[in-house]
Structure 1
Amino acid sequence: MKTTGWMMCAAAAAALAAVTWAAPLHAQQAQQSDVVIVGKEGWLFPAWGSLSEVDTAAVQSSTALIADAKQALAARGIQLEVLVLPDKVTFYEDRLPEGRVVSPTVKKRYDTILGSLQAAGVDALDARKVLSDTRATGKDVFYRSDQHWTQPAADAVADAIAARIKQKVPQLAGEAGTGMALGSETRERRYGDLAELFLDPAQRTAVGRDTFVVRRATEAQSLLDDGKAPVHITGHSMVQAYFGFPQKLSNDIDRPVTVNWKSGNVGPWVVLLEYLESADFRDNPPQVLVWQMFEPVYGFGPAAQGQWDNASIMTPAQWQERLHKALGH
């Protein structure tokens, strides 16, 4: 699997996983921060997505930009695969603190997004169903004190995306046997990112660590190999190598996969542009581009002040101008 310089290697990420919940939070420790909801049994949830309201106009605006990108990429012979990952809270609403609930409108938000995409001619995977099916087997799909998905969840979605790619682009460039071999799984004990980054020491200690299951890199695996790849993934930290999605997708399609990602505060709009404006894209354009987004912030467009870091902010028109310029239109 080839990656860009933005990829964090698994070894560098592995400084951090867990004990099971052993004691209730004290009342003073359970106070909510601005960015984290502290739930029952130490479950933590990002607070940047509303539990009560959905801005349908904003959803439609984002969809319009995505549909434009799909058409522009198609003109270059590139298949866009939009991957909207569902909100953690919709799977673990019962772990929210007393008095916090998910409104019926928010429960339907993922359907609203998929329906908006479908109406705009963008066929996207129902990743929520994939994760629901995975959880029905008794496996957690998100970590307790972390915003990220588990290995079984990442694997299941990679399988589903791979099936879509094979159906839509049956003749992938490259040689058979060049997909990434999957390394053995290992367990790491650390605090989840929501606990590590946003809780005070007392809260963090009360929540405790989680056990993260990740794959070791195989001897043949290099995160900085050169060469062409028919599939590229762009998104936020969910698709970094540490959580296993790109490796599993590469293994499934039996071809190399490239990745660029940045943390969620940057937003998906700039992350996509950084790839399309790169020499990597110019020299080795893929056949398929997997663009990963996140349900709670789907409606935050390129101009979402206060949601993305300042350097990421631009008007939708500016974003489209850069997109089309990068694609040579």
Structure 2
Amino acid sequence: MIKNCCVNTWRYAAILFGVFGMVSVHAAESLGFVGKNDWLFLRSELSSPAEAAAYAETISLIGRFNKVLAANGISMVVMMVPVKVRVYAEHLPNNIKLNDYTVGNYERINKALQAAGVTVIDLNTPFLNSPLRNSDSPLFYRLDGHWSLIGAKLAAETFKAGIEANPMLKKALDATPEVAFQMNIGKRKLPTKVRDLMALIPPNSGNFEPERFTPVSVIRAREQNEANRVPSGITVQGSSFSQEWTGFVDALRFVLQRDILNVSVTANIGSWFGMESYLSSDAFQNNAPKMLIWERPEYTMRAPPNFKFQDARYASNNTEWLLRASAWAQPTCKPSTVSAQVMPVGLAANGAHLKDGNIVTGPTSDKEFFELSFDKPLGKNLDFGGFWPRGGNAPIHIEYRWG
């Protein structure tokens, strides 16, 4: 259900501080700043040519990941949320101007993704040209970094139009079951408590009038027994822009008339960890979607998996992320041309530990080992598989010798 909600602004500030490390770039400046007409903005939405290599790395990873999904029958769509500083540039303060790089960044990223074979939905153009942009219900919240209910609905409608214009996406959509949803619009505007940027601007910046928006709700037209519910064929893996409180995924459900699985995560976790978590989950492994929507804020595209300001719990080597994600995305492993043989030493010296060429054993000591011999040289990346008892936590040491 679409609804207004209060975001924990102090937690949001901590997330941005950790994820984007703005203090290292703007040591004497706040994470947010005040514009004209009481509009608030996030400083990390401003980009520069110095970040081009980071953007390119993200684009390359997404392009290669997309090829794996396509080879396994999954249509992925990347949809970037345009930065608020561009959509509402007229409200920027006089001392902050958009540089040419920020002005053209969205189009530049979209073209690069398309060149890499990735299907994208352009939100920047409709957001800049929408007649609702300067209405009394704008596309972004004035005091918050997220799109408003109006912006979320425009994004959903734009996505639907993109599907209708793309035969591949239309085919993927048609392969998913229809579910009737209805949208209910409130009769009057109500105050909203969504104002995450208030915690990021300098102290004593003044008082700001709360915003008012007309509440909207999306519900199933007919109640359905959970036991009889057909698995969804569409998944949104997104950011906080796609969390249920924003109304975006509900708007998608309504315009597409489809049930949608929402596995979006917050900025401190990040898109890469969020995507890998979904791929490894039972939800994906037992029912891979026909269509996977990857929603990402434009400014996070400069943060690949190994982004230095990412929380260490959720960071990863770029290549290793791609290998893991690709492995999870494949229903079956592609057979290797390299053959392995268990050598008759260590555990395998005892015939009781061998079954159909595999080592099968109970509890072992730290001195136990087994040895494999390969008939061809191995590449840099090698995966080992095995089964260990639940609750086991002993480290496994692998030694790899040439010759």
**TM-score normalized with structure 2 length:** 0.68
Structure 2 CA distance for aligned equivalents of residues 237 and 215 of structure 1? 19
Say which SS state the counterpart of residue 145 (structure 1) adopts: coil
Say which SS state the counterpart of residue 310 (structure 1) adopts: coil
Which of 148, 156, 159 is equivalent to 1:158? 156
2:296 is aligned to 293
CA RMSD of aligned residues (A): 2.7
Stretch deviating more after TM superposition (127-136 or 74-83): 127-136
CA change 1:209–1:108 in 2 (3 A) is same
Corresponding position: 1:304 with 2:302: no
Deviations 1:51-89 (A, max 9, x none): 544522221111111111111111221100000111000
Structure 2 CA distance for aligned equivalents of residues 155 and 243 of structure 1? 10
Structure 2 counterpart of 1:182, one-letter code: M
Structure 2 CA distance for aligned equivalents of residues 296 and 221 of structure 1? 39
Which of 212, 231, 235 is equivalent to 1:232? 235
Say which SS state the counterpart of residue 90 (structure 1) adopts: helix
Which of 312, 315, 339 is equivalent to 1:313? 315
Preserved contact between residue 61 and residue 301 of structure 1 (Cα < 8 Å): yes
Structure 2 counterpart of 1:156, one-letter code: L
Structure 2 CA distance for aligned equivalents of residues 84 and 15 of structure 1? 24
Which of 22, 34, 38 is equivalent to 1:38? 34
1:14 is aligned to 5
Deviations 1:241-296 (A, max 9, x none): 22222122222222211111112232211111111111111122111000011112
Say which SS state the counterpart of residue 14 (structure 1) adopts: coil
Correspondence list, 1:1-329, <5 A: 14-15=5-6, 34-53=30-49, 55-135=51-131, 138-139=134-135, 140-166=138-164, 167=167, 168-170=169-171, 172-176=174-178, 178-185=179-186, 187-199=189-201, 202-203=204-205, 206-218=207-219, 227-306=230-309, 308-328=310-330, 329=333
Preserved contact between residue 33 and residue 41 of structure 2 (Cα < 8 Å): yes
Deviations 1:129-161 (A, max 9, x none): 121222466432211010111222222221221
Say which SS state the counterpart of residue 261 (structure 1) adopts: coil
Preserved contact between residue 45 and residue 88 of structure 1 (Cα < 8 Å): yes
Structure 1 counterpart of 2:141, one-letter code: Y
Query: Which consecutive segments of 4 or more residues in structure 1 shift more than 6 A?
Result: none
Structure 1 counterpart of 2:160, one-letter code: A
Say which SS state the counterpart of residue 45 (structure 2) adopts: coil
Say which SS state the counterpart of residue 154 (structure 1) adopts: helix
Structure 1 counterpart of 2:94, one-letter code: E
CA change 1:326–1:289 in 2 (3 A) is same
Structure 2 counterpart of 1:152, one-letter code: I
Preserved contact between residue 218 and residue 250 of structure 2 (Cα < 8 Å): no
Deviations 1:2-38 (A, max 9, x none): xxxxxxx756x6347xxxxxxxxxxxxxxx8531112
CA change 1:285–1:187 in 2 (3 A) is farther
Structure 2 CA distance for aligned equivalents of residues 257 and 195 of structure 1? 29
Structure 2 CA distance for aligned equivalents of residues 183 and 201 of structure 1? 39
CA change 1:216–1:160 in 2 (3 A) is closer
Structure 1 CA distance for aligned equivalents of residues 312 and 36 of structure 2? 34
CA change 1:212–1:253 in 2 (3 A) is same
CA change 1:216–1:108 in 2 (3 A) is same
Say which SS state the counterpart of residue 124 (structure 1) adopts: strand
Structure 2 counterpart of 1:96, one-letter code: L
Structure 2 counterpart of 1:81, one-letter code: V
Displacement of 1:214 in angstroms is: 3.6
Deviations 1:174-231 (A, max 9, x none): 443x14222324644234333444357754x612322244423547689x96641121
2:398 is aligned to none
Q: Which runs of 5 or more structure 1 residues have no equivalent in the other structure?
A: 1-8, 17-31
What is the percentage of aligned positions where both structures have the same residue? 23
How many residue pairs are counted as aligned between the two chains? 302
Say which one has the larger Rg.
Answer: 2
Deviations 1:109-145 (A, max 9, x none): 1121012112212231111012122246643221101
Q: Which runs of 5 or more structure 2 residues have no equivalent in the other structure?
A: 8-27, 334-403
CA change 1:189–1:175 in 2 (3 A) is same
